[in-house]
Amino acid sequence: MTEHREPSIQVPEVAVASMNATHAEELGLIERLLAALDDEDAEAARAMAEDLAAHVQEHFSREERLMEQYGFPPYPIHKAEHDRVRPLVAGACAAADDAKGRAALARFLREEFIPWLEHHVATMDMATAHFLAMQGVE
């Protein structure tokens, strides 16, 4: 086991508890995946990369269903941002089969996806949750 210097990843709380739960779950998955990648535990990393890819898709889709259901006006903008990031996550996670892909995945998570997620939650998710909470979504 190597020492993990990962500061625990945090995103701001939004006004909808179920969205916060999804975000916390996803951050946990990312932290465990990074630990497996750092440990060069290929088997675990592959499995967790698959879990993360599925989690991100469902995370985005659930927000989109809620926005549609409650008629959130900027829905297309929020969805477009999800749709831009979806293939990046899917591609990076699918590359976890070989060592080079796993190194690229660790880099992608640390340098692109985590900073993106922090910003996305603080902006689009924050505004969306504010609107949904006023419609009684928890």
Q: Which stretch binds Fe ion (CB under 5 A): 25-33, 59-67, 85-93, 129-137?
A: 59-67
Q: Which is nearer to Fe ion, 30 or 63 (CB)?
A: 63
Structural Rg of the chain based on CA atoms: 16
Distance CA 17, CA 39 (A): 33
Quick check: 26 binds Fe ion (CB under 5 A)?
Answer: no
HSE on the CB side for 134, CA within 13 Å?
8
What is the size of the binding site for Fe ion (CB under 5 A)? 2
Task: State in angstroms the smallest separation of the CB of 67 from Fe ion.
Answer: 9
| Per-residue interface string for the shown chain with Fe ion, residues 109-128, x marking contact by CB under 5 A | ----------------x---
Task: Say if CB 15 and CB 80 are below 8 A apart.
Answer: no
Distances (CA, A) of 114 to 1, 65, 130: 23, 23, 22
How far is Cα 55 from Cα 60, in angstroms, rounded to an integer?
Answer: 9
Residue with smaller CB distance to Fe ion, 36 or 63: 63
CB of 46 to Fe ion, least distance (A): 25
Interacting residue with Fe ion among 63, 96, 106, 113 (CB under 5 A): 63
Binding stretches for Fe ion (CB under 5 A): 63, 125
